[in-house]
Amino acid sequence: MSVVGEAQRTLNVTQAIFGSWDTPDAAEHPAVHYRGTTWSYRQLIAEINRAGNALRELGIRREERIVLVAYDSPHFLAMMFGAMKIGAVPIPLNPYLPVDDYAYFLEDSRARLLAVEPEIWRALGPRLQGGAPDVSWVMVLPGLGTPQISPVGHPGPFVFYQDFIPRMDHSLEAAPTSPDEAAFWLYSSGSTGKPKGAVHCHKDMISCNETYGTKVLGITRRDRLFSASKLYFAYGLGNGSYFAFANGASVVLMPEKVEPSLVLETIEQTDPTLFFGVPTLYNAMLRVQGREYRFPSLRACVSAGEPLPAEIFLRWKERYGVEIVDGIGSTEVLHIYISNRPGDCRPGTSGHVVPGYEVRIVDEDGRPVPQGEIGDLYVKGDSIAAFYWNQAEKTRSSMVGEWYRTGDKYYIDPDGYYCYAGRSDDMMKVGGMWVSPSEVENALLRHEAVVEAAVVAVADEAGLDKPVAYVVLSQGYVGDAAMEAALRSFARDQMAHFKAPRAFHFVEELPKTATGKIQRFKLRAGLAQSR
């Protein structure tokens, strides 16, 4: 049964999320904490309405797309929720991409309007001349200062947010959209190739809040949420906006690029009750030296994006006295659908299925595997994207009836916890036995010299797969033959010998997506080219 309800014919996600707080009792409650200022619900709702009216003034119609290349800020929220309120379709993008990448997204989405940070526009504008034929308007956002820029090189008429938006009416009636109407797109992180546009509907945010936001995290009006993962990312969009706003809570927005010391300082200074990050960030924050941080306000931390190694969970809890609630989600499902629970966290596992979702683990023929055996993970739930834009074949192969084929390998341990075994295309068969890269990586992370590790398969002279490790070492350690021998011996003490890496490559950093996922396919490609 749909969370929204089969009988409900009209649902506008912006109205559904903010409608309860546009009242005298709730209007002055804090909604956003941003760079030393606080926006009340009254102020944020008014800004959302002005943004929606501005888009209508510019001729943006229902179902037309706008691309949003913006840092986390109230202006991002206004454009995102204002667009959805009028029935338009916002597409948030990573503002830290190489500027040449944006041409692909604009062309693929056929966006009518580009809303962009001023410093990004300086580099992007000249590259778009003749390269974005569907863009009718460019809106330059306020940015982090007041830089002066020129409209030179824009592909259409040009407006400044701070000049145009304040002139608009602060009242706006929501478009009578349906629960299954397109509300926003999120492009996949591209961990295995070119990004795909996942089309999400007006019901999807509501579903995620009513399943994970309330039933797992128990978010209430008393909470303050801070997400280091940014709003353009599916995980960050929930953490940094609709989970809070649907429950009358507030969010802390940090527009700056994520840096471990800055994140630690922001937590200490803004007193969130819930903090959201990814394993790579938690690991980096644990390595920050020079002072001790205290987080008395935190009742839980949350991790997603990649499986959280047990070692990081234990070190974090020992240092800060708070659990990291790990779970698995995806762009296509919008947020987390298997999760540990506050007070019931099993390190090294993804926990249990979130209420409102169903999962199954099957073999290559689609048959359920016995408990303890590794298989392919499928998930069913009301927040799954409707389809991939202009990718019919990929839609058919990934969205199988009501089920979404996640591409992840999982098994269930004897106590019923779901355990990640790797991506389907990352799994290795060594000596006829499945080997999970994450198992080997987690073992290596227990060594004091290892900061990060990624394990991939490489064929030997006989064409048989063998595990090979790429390792980032802690400061003061040298990646020489002695270190390789020490890590190989350490790995063999931690697991069956056939799982231990046959070779080690010491690197300065691992290739990752913008959301922190290790791009193992790039490591495999590098090995193939070197042979």
Cβ–Cβ under 8 Å, residues 325 and 340 = yes
- pLDDT reading at 466 higher than 90: no
Helix or strand or coil: residue 110?
coil
Same domain, residue pair 286 and 252: yes
Helix or strand or coil: residue 2?
coil
Full-model pTM: 0.84
Same domain, residue pair 156 and 190: yes
Same domain, residue pair 174 and 49: yes
- pLDDT reading at 481 higher than 60: yes
Query: Rounded distance, CA 14 to CA 48, Å?
Result: 9
CA distances from 285 to 126, 236, 260, 476 (A): 38, 18, 5, 18
Tokens representing 412?
């269930």
Determine, yes or no, domain membership for 109. Answer: yes
Same domain, residue pair 387 and 276: yes
Percent of the chain with pLDDT strictly greater than 70? 92
Query: What is the reported pLDDT for 191?
Result: 45
Q: Name the one residue in this structure whose structure tokens are 């200074």.
A: 269
More confident residue, 99 or 378: 378
Cβ–Cβ under 8 Å, residues 427 and 435 = yes
Query: Rounded distance, CA 501 to CA 503, Å?
Result: 5
Query: What is the reported pLDDT for 15?
Result: 97
| 359-373, 407-421, 431-445, 481-495: segment of lowest average pLDDT | 431-445
Same domain, residue pair 195 and 233: no
Same domain, residue pair 50 and 184: yes
Beta strands in 330-365 (DSSP E): 336-339, 352-353, 358-362
Look up the domain containing 462 and give its range.
Answer: 428-530
Query: What is the reported pLDDT for 192?
Result: 46
Tokens representing 427?
């799994």
Q: Using only C-alpha atoms, what is the Rg of the chain?
A: 23
Q: Are strands 375-380 and 358-362 parallel, antiparallel or unpaired?
A: antiparallel
Segment 454-464, tens digit of pLDDT: 999 887 665 66
Query: What is the reported pLDDT for 136?
Result: 93
Segment 147-200, tens digit of pLDDT: 566 655 555 688 999 999 999 999 999 999 999 999 999 998 654 457 899 999
Determine, yes or no, domain membership for 61. Answer: yes
- pLDDT reading at 528 higher than 70: no
Mean pLDDT over residues 95-113, rounded?
A: 92
Query: What is the reported pLDDT for 1?
Result: 36
Query: Rounded distance, CA 191 to CA 522, Å?
Result: 9
Segment 302-344, tens digit of pLDDT: 999 888 989 899 999 999 999 999 999 999 999 999 999 999 9
- pLDDT reading at 8 higher than 80: no
DSSP 3: S
